[in-house]
Chains A and B, each alone.
Chain A
């Protein structure tokens, strides 16, 4: 067993876990943050994407002990007083159905917009960037629309605080 300490959604947390415990399981089981989902065993589906030190990471590819000392943000920590623009766009454009892939999609999309800079995405780029996130419900049509809309909204200054 190992002791790990990290900042999760702005709060310092500690816990003990087996060395083999994945960050995804630590978040879900030790911290009760069940918004991070596990949809596969091979780091393909992206339902578990969180931000570690500001970068999108599949939390099933990282051991909890590797996250020791890092700053983690999960889907539960994304919204401020208002929804993050990416969350708002997913709702506005029906970018989700069953909701299971949604937290990972939103965390990956937020990172995507931040990396490219708000307003700098096009459909081809978004589709290519979503290679690591699988959705079985939406056919991606409305997810792509939502991400492009969020990118434009953020370019116009929406959610500057939350982002």
Chain B
């Protein structure tokens, strides 16, 4: 390992601009003639639009135009789509209801876009939006998925009878039933996985610029995957052909999944720019973010887990109802199916698994992937069930887990996934040691002497990252391939640009990707620039989500570097009159092994471009492209332990310690990996303790600001105790598994297991607010 290579704790190259206020986010972009958009949104959860009168608004100061759904439809702009086809168990395709970029006839959630005002200033646009008179005929609304499935419930889309989108299953139902029938013990648990709002600190924003002379569009947008945005806007929404549409995602202030999707606003601002003849910028305020950013989770599940007399799991049966909101967001269908039920084996040998998943429309904002996406839901139900089972069986929760750990790899689960590597004992041991598990009874006793309730809980999680082999996800219904691209450009002076289809919005790619190049070529990371987020610069890419940028994005860079090195070796061998096989690349030189003959990296690069003296037939230049398609998912895993103290007078939970022992395979930059885990744990603690989206029964969003939706603050959290156990991933060249989501996946059950351990009842739902905890203790 060099000082800047793989494994080095290098400070981030990108930090200087962020700490000096020079970051460039979408809302910071200004172009000549730019005007501002404000959306008119539905105040009702479900209503028919009977009339839109924009005459007063059009006369307001600064207003350029007011545009409606009928106009965008007339111009041929298409409806929003869900890009992953799921079939019900009866073979019928999922029921995708129409999602218009601006509603023409019916609104289906509070915040549904109805019209857009374009004006000189943002304030003028918002003032005018208030004056657009929309007449509605209110319809009954339904908010909870279970209610939406009942006879007589309000119906959202004519395509979806009883609001059912699909009724899907995986695994062997008869085998799971048989295991339960024959079990020595069955643990039954009802699980609610609470609805969350992702809340990246930068609100969504977009700037649409139409150039009439070139008939060309530029879309600045807060996206995790600008190429996917361009593809979808071209292929499905009919905005413009790909060669006439440039999508740029500059600095993006966090995503956590919510910025994967293409929302109505990008489409509308591009179209509005052409319609009005001016560049159009829209920036969400926080209330709009709460109302319109895709939410996460929102599952209701019944679990039955069967054990034999030796406490071995013999079967698992899961029945889940998932709320997908008013429309099917871009990848919404995949989250409660292939990103969820395929992880139901957890870290355990479970011979028979069956899951049934029904997804349902409700009058709420669409639900899609949020950090972890399906895997937190799977982990939460498994690890709550394991904990409750241990308590019912009267065995140590760690021992129950050990009894059932998978220890032989590769391991084929009954639910598609084939785990390639792992050592679950290692992370459990490390976490228990770090948490001083053995010393807990004494700590509990001491807490009791102060009148406090102390509890400890663990969770052993697994996830599937690095999505994924394209053919595999294609066979499961994905509308896109999930490979990644890289281009390595060696300039004539030897500096290097790496163009990647991954997108960094906090993950530190500009540093870690440069570390990989430094490791391979022995050049300082300062001479390496990472280029991303612009469809005019990077040809194609699939973006960043699902903890895939290391395992997939960096593997593509490895492939491109292989090609660059091969050509560089040929050039160096020619210059040094040596055999190509004897050339070693290190410390910025190409050396003839075992001699003092060497050519500096920059001189080789210059030779590639002067082309005065290249091997016969070699093309000038040094630039290589690679596309990497993974051969399998990767399987990060670990053990989290949380210890809490609860004040019985108030029900308030204080987290005393939080230990995370993770196996992410090989690590490029430990500092950055630790940061990812810190942030993930904070979001998981947020879900378990603080956060929850609430709609009232009429569909009004009650948690639409930071005064109502409880974001984790610094004093809600402890410092975290982290360690890494490493089993390299055999499936990719760097042995990387991915680390972006683990914290959010593993932490909620650990915390709830600790709280229920402290208060002695299982009857608590997330978020475990002081009120709920206090009530549970009575």
Q: Is A2 in contact with chain B by the CB < 8 A criterion? A: no
Within 8 A of B (CB), among A12-45: 18, 20-21, 28, 32-42, 44-45
B28 touches A34 (CB 8 A): yes
Closest to B507 in A: A97
Contact status of A99 and B286, CB under 8 A, knowing A79-B20, A87-B20, A91-B12: no
Taking CB atoms, residues of chain B closer than 8 Å to A35 are: 20-23
CA–CA, A33 and B287, complex, Å = 24
Taking CB atoms, residues of chain B closer than 8 Å to A32 are: 30
Return B691 CB to nearest CB of chain A, in Å: 11
Contact status of A136 and B254, CB under 8 A, knowing A39-B286, A90-B15: yes
Q: Which of A51-59, A123-131, A155-163 contacts B (4 or more CB under 8 A)?
A: A123-131
Taking CB atoms, residues of chain A closer than 8 Å to B22 are: 35, 76
B678 touches A138 (CB 8 A): yes
Q: Which of A62-70, A101-109, A113-121 contacts B (4 or more CB under 8 A)?
A: A101-109
CA–CA, A136 and B712, complex, Å = 8
Q: Is A139 in contact with chain B by the CB < 8 A criterion? A: yes
Q: Is A135 in contact with chain B by the CB < 8 A criterion? A: yes
Q: Is A11 in contact with chain B by the CB < 8 A criterion? A: no
Taking CB atoms, residues of chain A closer than 8 Å to B713 are: 130-131, 134, 140
Taking CB atoms, residues of chain B closer than 8 Å to A28 are: 28
Return B679 CB to nearest CB of chain A, in Å: 5
Contact for B21 among A34, A90, A137, A140, CB less than 8 A: A34
Residue among A28, A37, A76 having the largest count of chain B Cβ atoms under 10 Å: A37
Contact status of A97 and B705, CB under 8 A, knowing A41-B287, A92-B11, A102-B18: no
B254 touches A98 (CB 8 A): yes
Contact status of A136 and B199, CB under 8 A, knowing A42-B706, A92-B11, A142-B678: yes
Taking CB atoms, residues of chain B closer than 8 Å to A151 are: none
Taking CB atoms, residues of chain A closer than 8 Å to B678 are: 138-142
Q: Is B383 in contact with chain A by the CB < 8 A criterion? A: no
B20 touches A75 (CB 8 A): yes
Return B724 CB to nearest CB of chain A, in Å: 16
Q: Is A72 in contact with chain B by the CB < 8 A criterion? A: no
B11 touches A123 (CB 8 A): no
A144 touches B719 (CB 8 A): yes
Taking CB atoms, residues of chain A closer than 8 Å to B285 are: 40-41
Contact for A91 among B15, B203, B507, B681, CB less than 8 A: B15
Q: Is B714 in contact with chain A by the CB < 8 A criterion? A: yes
Looking at chain B, what size class is its interface with the partner chain?
Answer: 35 or more
Closest to B254 in A: A98
Taking CB atoms, residues of chain B closer than 8 Å to A83 are: 19-20
CA–CA, A124 and B679, complex, Å = 19
CA–CA, A127 and B712, complex, Å = 11
Within 8 A of A (CB), among B273-326: 285-287
CA–CA, A92 and B679, complex, Å = 18
Return B645 CB to nearest CB of chain A, in Å: 15
Taking CB atoms, residues of chain A closer than 8 Å to B16 are: 91
Taking CB atoms, residues of chain B closer than 8 Å to A133 are: 714
B705 touches A42 (CB 8 A): yes
Closest to B19 in A: A87
Interface of B is mostly: loop
Taking CB atoms, residues of chain B closer than 8 Å to A106 are: 19
Return B250 CB to nearest CB of chain A, in Å: 12
B200 touches A98 (CB 8 A): yes
Residue interface bits A76-90, CB-to-B below 8 A is 1, else 0: 101100010001001
A130 touches B715 (CB 8 A): yes
Residue interface bits B1-43, CB-to-A below 8 A is 1, else 0: 0000000000110111111111111011010000000000000
Interface of A is mostly: loop
Residue among B19, B508, B705, B720 having the largest count of chain A Cβ atoms under 10 Å: B19
Contact for B253 among A41, A98, A140, CB less than 8 A: A98
Contact for A39 among B24, B203, B674, CB less than 8 A: B203
Q: Is B707 in contact with chain A by the CB < 8 A criterion? A: yes
Q: Is A154 in contact with chain B by the CB < 8 A criterion? A: no
Q: Is B671 in contact with chain A by the CB < 8 A criterion? A: yes
Closest to A79 in B: B20
Contact status of A94 and B12, CB under 8 A, knowing A41-B705, A137-B254: yes
Q: Is B711 in contact with chain A by the CB < 8 A criterion? A: yes
B286 touches A131 (CB 8 A): no
Contact for A98 among B17, B203, B286, B506, CB less than 8 A: B506
Taking CB atoms, residues of chain B closer than 8 Å to A141 are: 675, 678, 717, 719-720
Taking CB atoms, residues of chain B closer than 8 Å to A145 are: 719
Contact for A44 among B251, B675, B705, CB less than 8 A: B705
Contact for A136 among B17, B256, B715, B717, CB less than 8 A: B256
Closest to B682 in A: A139
Taking CB atoms, residues of chain B closer than 8 Å to A126 are: 714
Contact for A96 among B19, B202, B256, B743, CB less than 8 A: B19
B18 touches A127 (CB 8 A): no
Q: Is B672 in contact with chain A by the CB < 8 A criterion? A: yes
Q: Is B591 in contact with chain A by the CB < 8 A criterion? A: no
B715 touches A96 (CB 8 A): no
Return A138 CB to nearest CB of chain B, in Å: 5
Q: Is B252 in contact with chain A by the CB < 8 A criterion? A: yes
B201 touches A139 (CB 8 A): no
Contact for B201 among A33, A79, A91, A100, CB less than 8 A: A100
Closest to B686 in A: A136
Q: Is B123 in contact with chain A by the CB < 8 A criterion? A: yes
Return A150 CB to nearest CB of chain B, in Å: 12
Residue among B16, B18, B682 having the largest count of chain A Cβ atoms under 10 Å: B18
Q: Is A47 in contact with chain B by the CB < 8 A criterion? A: yes
CA–CA, A74 and B680, complex, Å = 30
A96 touches B18 (CB 8 A): yes
Q: Is B505 in contact with chain A by the CB < 8 A criterion? A: yes
CA–CA, A123 and B743, complex, Å = 22
Return A93 CB to nearest CB of chain B, in Å: 9
B681 touches A97 (CB 8 A): no
CA–CA, A94 and B15, complex, Å = 9
Q: Is A143 in contact with chain B by the CB < 8 A criterion? A: yes
Residue among A35, A99, A142 having the largest count of chain B Cβ atoms under 10 Å: A99
A91 touches B20 (CB 8 A): no
CA–CA, A78 and B12, complex, Å = 20
Residue among B22, B256, B743 having the largest count of chain A Cβ atoms under 10 Å: B22
A144 touches B714 (CB 8 A): yes
A76 touches B15 (CB 8 A): no
CA–CA, A143 and B679, complex, Å = 11
B711 touches A136 (CB 8 A): yes
CA–CA, A49 and B193, complex, Å = 35
Q: Is B683 in contact with chain A by the CB < 8 A criterion? A: yes
Return B99 CB to nearest CB of chain A, in Å: 26
Return B660 CB to nearest CB of chain A, in Å: 11
Residue among A21, A78, A96, A139 having the largest count of chain B Cβ atoms under 10 Å: A139
A98 touches B505 (CB 8 A): yes
CA–CA, A139 and B11, complex, Å = 18
Residue among A34, A45, A103, A126 having the largest count of chain B Cβ atoms under 10 Å: A34
Taking CB atoms, residues of chain B closer than 8 Å to A41 are: 285-287, 705
CA–CA, A70 and B274, complex, Å = 43
A140 touches B123 (CB 8 A): no
Return A120 CB to nearest CB of chain B, in Å: 18
Contact for A100 among B202, B507, B683, B706, CB less than 8 A: B202
Residue among B21, B23, B28, B285 having the largest count of chain A Cβ atoms under 10 Å: B21
Taking CB atoms, residues of chain B closer than 8 Å to A127 are: 714-715, 717
Which 8 interchain pairs have the tightest Cβ spacing?
Answer: A35-B21, A100-B253, A99-B18, A139-B682, A98-B506, A75-B21, A44-B706, A97-B506
Task: Give 11 A-B pairs besides A136-B682, A141-B719 with Cβ atoms closer than 8 angstroms.
Answer: A34-B21, A34-B28, A40-B286, A40-B705, A44-B707, A97-B507, A97-B508, A100-B253, A130-B713, A133-B714, A140-B717
26 A-B residue pairs with CB within 8 Å: A28-B28, A35-B22, A36-B21, A41-B285, A42-B707, A78-B20, A79-B20, A91-B11, A92-B11, A94-B11, A94-B675, A97-B506, A99-B253, A100-B202, A101-B201, A101-B253, A102-B19, A106-B19, A134-B201, A134-B713, A137-B675, A138-B678, A139-B681, A139-B712, A140-B678, A141-B678
